[in-house]
């Protein structure tokens, strides 16, 4: 007889540790459309804690993930019909503290879960049970897999056509998703080249199997690729855009594939774009029988759970490094509490992170048991 907290009819309830779930909470809300995250987003101190419906879980968030696209979301670039105010944050890991009666068929109070759903930058988030992913424990490493890991896994599986000996170039390789592209390409026995912005990042990339690192602050990426890979590279996992996209396109081998999973270099611009030399694109692709493919995770949700289960098993076997960056080396220290999400977004756009940026939401338990 496991505890079931049916929230459908009650507004006063205890969480599984016997402490009172508050009636109000902190959360981040987009109050003005802007690619400047600090201008767009407001920390609200006293939002009502939402109530789960019959098929829902109420998750107390313990860790939330920062994504480059957070500023695309705050700029209103994903859905022009949505007007402020609206909730923000894409992914979270936490404990189920209450749930609806139907949801209790598959979940129990106290269970660790992860989810991908808008509104994670909050102390509590309602998550439909069918969208939640049960976890063995609440660990920030699991959060790295939800968007960043799944994007690398599904894009390379569906579009990469990886096989032994192929040369794979990963841009922003030491970032949240780049780290997985490097490791998954290595598991496919490819030769992996990774671009990064510091020797420290280069060291991390070597530690996860990168064959050749290119520090673009001290080396000329174009020259290195031309000299070391005169025949070109077979696959590019590209998330930077602008000049890096042009370099990657020029570096493609015959029948090469360039997978676009983002273009972070342009996100802070008013248009969200940075110019590329696209007028030469048809000729360049034709000359090499090459292709450029876009990948957006939302279009592959039918395969999402399979991908995630595969990645979770790899991590639990010790076959996958899930590097988390809590901002310990940032000027004001570790990212703790929702107010530090602003610093965490700045830190990402300064290119400081190694691995996935994660913010911890501390919770003190006032047990009444």
Q: Which of 299, 314, 341 is the last residue of a domain?
A: 299
- Residue 161 shares a structural domain with residue 281: yes
Which CA distances in Å does 280 have to 240, 250, 276, 277?
19, 10, 10, 6
Q: Is 201 helix (H, G, I), strand (E, B) or coil?
A: helix
What pLDDT score does 99 carry?
87
Q: For position 367, what pLDDT does the model report?
A: 40
Is residue 180 located within the same domain as residue 119? no
The pLDDT-based confidence of 278 (bands split at 50, 70, 90) is: confident
Query: Containing domain of residue 100, as a range?
Result: 24-138+323-360
pLDDT of 14: 52
The string of pLDDT tens digits covering residues 26-80 is 999 999 999 999 999 999 999 999 988 889 999 999 999 999 999 999 999 988 8
The answer to whether residue 262 sits within a structural domain is yes
Asked if the model's pLDDT at residue 105 lies above 90, the reply is no
What pLDDT is recorded for position 15?
55
Q: How far, in Å, CA of 277 to CA of 255, rounded?
A: 20
317 domain residue, yes or no: no
Provide the CATH number for the domain around residue 80: 3.90.180.10
Nearest to 65 by CA among 307, 344, 329: 344
What's the total number of domains in the chain? 2
For 303-319, the pLDDT digits (tens) are 999 999 999 999 999 99
Q: pLDDT category, 17, cuts 50, 70, 90?
A: low
19/54 Cα distance (integer angstroms): 22
253 and 337, same domain (yes or no): no
Nearest in space to 231 (alpha carbons), one of 288, 293, 156: 288
Same-domain pairing of 120 and 151: no
Phi-psi region of 337 (alpha: psi -120 to 50; beta: other; left: phi over 0): left
pLDDT, tens digit, 9 for 90 and up, residues 109-130: 889 999 999 999 999 999 999 9
Helix, strand, or coil (residue 141)? helix
**pLDDT > 90: percent of the chain:** 84
157-177 pLDDT, tens digit each: 999 999 999 999 999 999 999
Confidence check: pLDDT of 8 > 50: no
| Mean pLDDT (the chain, rounded) | 93
Residue 326 Cα distances to 18, 178, 208, 320, angstroms: 29, 17, 19, 19
> How many Å apart are CA 121 and CA 229, to the nearest integer?
43
């Amino acid at each position: 007889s496991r505890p079931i907290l049916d929230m459908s009819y009650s507004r006063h309830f205890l969480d599984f540790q016997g402490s009172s779930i508050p009636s109000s909470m902190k959360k981040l809300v987009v109050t003005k459309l802007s690619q400047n995250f600090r201008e767009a987003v407001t920390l609200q101190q006293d939002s009502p804690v939402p109530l789960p419906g019959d098929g829902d879980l109420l998750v107390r968030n313990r860790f939330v993930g920062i994504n480059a696209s957070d500023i695309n979301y705050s700029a209103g670039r994903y859905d022009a019909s949505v007007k402020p105010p609206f909730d923000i944050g894409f992914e979270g890991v936490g404990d189920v503290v209450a749930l609806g009666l139907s949801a209790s068929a598959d979940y129990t109070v106290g269970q660790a879960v992860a989810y991908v759903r808008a509104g994670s930058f909050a102390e509590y988030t309602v998550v439909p049970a069918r969208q939640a992913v049960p976890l063995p424990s609440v660990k920030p490493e699991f959060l790295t897999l939800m968007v960043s890991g799944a994007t690398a896994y599904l894009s390379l599986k569906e579009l990469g056509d990886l096989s032994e000996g192929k040369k794979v170039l990963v841009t922003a390789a030491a970032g949240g998703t780049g780290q997985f592209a490097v490791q998954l390409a290595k598991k496919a026995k490819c030769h992996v080249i990774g671009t990064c912005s510091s020797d420290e990042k280069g060291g991390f990339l070597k530690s996860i199997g990168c064959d050749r690192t290119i520090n673009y602050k001290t080396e000329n990426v174009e020259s290195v690729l031309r000299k070391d890979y005169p025949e070109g590279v077979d696959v590019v996992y590209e998330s930077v855009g602008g000049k890096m996209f042009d370099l990657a396109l020029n570096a493609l081998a015959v029948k090469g594939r360039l997978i676009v999973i983002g273009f972070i270099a342009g996100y802070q611009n008013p248009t969200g774009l940075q110019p590329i030399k696209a007028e030469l694109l048809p000729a360049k692709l034709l000359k090499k029988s090459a292709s450029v493919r876009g990948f957006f995770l939302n279009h592959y949700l039918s395969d999402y759970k399979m991908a995630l289960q595969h990645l979770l098993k790899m991590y639990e076997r010790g076959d996958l490094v899930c590097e988390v960056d809590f901002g310990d080396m940032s000027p004001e220290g570790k990212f703790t509490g929702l107010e530090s999400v602003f610093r965490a977004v700045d830190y990402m756009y300064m290119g400081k992170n190694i691995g996935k940026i994660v913010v911890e939401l501390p919770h003190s338990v006032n047990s009444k048991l």
